Structure 1
């Protein structure tokens, strides 16, 4: 494997079970533990200055648009995906899903500090069969089980889409919506019991809830309502640049050159309006009990003007990866530290949908085995009005190759 790193170090020694309250705490911890930052102590950057002069899609689809770059996906793009799926004929269509468990079945630790896996429990099952007052069996003898989540369920705690209003800088979200819309109240006629933060000590309290707050604009319902389908490609940078396990080093920053070189090595064309998935090997590291894993010290994309302009010129509607933030969490650019600058450049300015915490293990192995890195990508996030993100289980239909074709 080629040995070179693009280091934008961040985060180390974090208690994965700890709860950090607020992005400010996350940023402070990431910056303070960055070797480059600790030595030089650069100032926090200004995204307005960094991204000034770079392209935006504000107003491109009207002043009231909330779908962003998903507007690029039409009939032609869905057709291109269908063609990719059936290119090997009717006997060679494989199906993959990309979602990690939402209840932490594979590991009890959260992938990101504070966003712990949810827990569900049965509210009705065979234990209630014949019990006085039980609703089972029903007339005629039908029995059933039912369940509900019994802990907080973080919408971005597993494989998910970011809503376009999830992250911003200054006072405006994507397409110019004011930041005040992120705290839009909804009042319900009947209160239900739910969980609220306690006294600032990280605890939660059970309390009647009749008012909630959410995104009043650019929430996840735009993506949920339209859905996503098109030609997807996997850029397996982990296998191209990583170790024998196909994992990038923790301090690796993925550049535009890395993406293009990986596509060239895989012999896959990147076309306009493709849905681009990037494999780093982070999920394997997170699920490996013998490996050192830190959500703020993952490999990921790093900012450059060239990368942002390339995404814009290629009209990429969706980009996703198998890590927590798509990009390196803390990045030192020209001696100045920034936290997730590509969220500002891509999500806020270009209106691109970001997919995070994808499980690319099975898909990556299949692509490496048969050399086919294009497929039909389909997905839709959970429809949660006001949501800053939505869990999703993308379904991939990929053409394989016969044994004769692989020789």
Structure 2
């Protein structure tokens, strides 16, 4: 059923169906996967994920924490190096079993389409609602414990991202043709917002073309900044070095729409340059690229990917395309997920 009577300007709501919860991931068709497989010539694979305890501490985001690994229990006994002979004499098995508590968006991760919604009058009645991609509603489809537009009214469980959860992207497999844009090769660690004109100059200089259904991958060099910091990054380092996309540039946002990219990922914290270079005067999005991609187009965003080794290899080989395999965890209701991504060239 259609959940809106009006959609945001520039949105594609309804174009993949009234109940669609995948957005432009629908463009990862069998044909696109075959194009990606055709890029495999050497059989060489690259891990595109940081260790999940990077960046370290909570320097990039005070609400996200490193994973905490603990051992499981067998009654009162820790299940680490646990000999089953304690239960059944004569058995020679020794078992290790553990568990982890983690922030799903702490390290290399995908944002689901539930990560960023907006206040928007989707009913056309002059009253804003909290809505997400394709008109999915807060409190009905994406549920938290409070209704912030109704006096912080407490809501009963269940809570979670519902149909827009990260498990939808996991079921879609997130495999396709990656297209690497090496911003670091042109800007180094210079702190600069990359708008439409700058991005087009890089694409032209490197002979890179982007086609509908491709996964756009942006190397800024921030991954190596984090690795060099060895889990102890300075507070605010993400605002001091490396590039990001200028979400305040309407021409750049229009290019993302016109390009037909299925997803965008980067090795930096947010894909987009923060704080926004030209924040809106009055009403507007603090995260304009997130709003455009997640809320309007259904384009998932991947952050803190490990791209530099791959980028160096591709540049040396005179290539920029590869097979990308990057499914998130199939965790129902989650807003984001770690990912162990692989590039094969």
Q: TM-score, normalization: structure 1?
A: 0.69
The residue that corresponds to 2:328 in the other structure is 381
Q: Equivalents in 2 of 1:111, 1:284: separation in Å?
A: 15
- Is the Cα contact below 8 Å between 1:248 and 1:281 reproduced in 2? no
SS of aligned partner of 1:64? coil
The residue that corresponds to 1:267 in the other structure is 207
Unaligned ranges ≥5, structure 2: 1-6, 73-78, 120-129, 146-155
The residue that corresponds to 1:352 in the other structure is 299
Q: Equivalents in 2 of 1:362, 1:322: separation in Å?
A: 11
Unaligned ranges ≥5, structure 1: 1-50, 87-91, 186-209, 399-407
- Is the Cα contact below 8 Å between 2:84 and 2:94 reproduced in 1? no
Q: Deviations over 1:2-53 (max 9, x none)?
A: xxxxxxxxxxxxxxxxxxxxxxxxxxxxxxxxxxxxxxxxxxxxxxxxx963
The residue that corresponds to 1:14 in the other structure is none
**What's the CA shift for 1:393?**
1.2
Picking from 159, 167, 170, the partner of 1:224 is: 170
Picking from 190, 194, 197, the partner of 1:248 is: 190
Q: Does 1:155 align with 2:121?
A: no
Matched ranges for 1:24-35 at <5 A: none
Q: Equivalents in 2 of 1:342, 1:66: separation in Å?
A: 19
Q: Equivalents in 2 of 1:300, 1:115: separation in Å?
A: 21
The residue that corresponds to 2:344 in the other structure is 397
Query: CA 1:131 to 1:362, structure 2 compared with 1: closer, same or farther past 3 Å?
Result: same
The residue that corresponds to 1:174 in the other structure is 133
Query: CA 1:132 to 1:140, structure 2 compared with 1: closer, same or farther past 3 Å?
Result: closer
Q: Does 1:330 align with 2:275?
A: yes
**What's the CA shift for 1:113?**
2.5
Q: Equivalents in 2 of 1:327, 1:371: separation in Å?
A: 27
Q: TM-score, normalization: structure 2?
A: 0.80
The residue that corresponds to 1:206 in the other structure is none
Q: Equivalents in 2 of 1:293, 1:232: separation in Å?
A: 32
Picking from 51, 62, 72, the partner of 1:101 is: 51
Query: CA 1:293 to 1:360, structure 2 compared with 1: closer, same or farther past 3 Å?
Result: farther
Equivalent residue pairs, number? 305
Matched ranges for 1:3-402 at <5 A: 53=9, 55-86=10-41, 92-104=42-54, 107-108=56-57, 110-123=59-72, 124-126=79-81, 128-129=82-83, 132-133=86-87, 140-149=91-100, 152-170=101-119, 171-180=130-139, 181-183=141-143, 213-242=159-188, 247-249=189-191, 252-289=192-229, 294=236, 297=239, 299-303=243-247, 304-333=249-278, 336=281, 338-398=285-345
Query: CA 1:362 to 1:296, structure 2 compared with 1: closer, same or farther past 3 Å?
Result: closer
Q: CA RMSD in A?
A: 2.6
**What's the CA shift for 1:132?**
4.0
- Is the Cα contact below 8 Å between 2:14 and 2:134 reproduced in 1? yes
**What's the CA shift for 1:284?**
1.8
Q: Deviations over 1:232-257 (max 9, x none)?
A: 11101011122xxxx232xx111122
**What's the CA shift for 1:262?**
1.9
- Is the Cα contact below 8 Å between 2:56 and 2:233 reproduced in 1? no
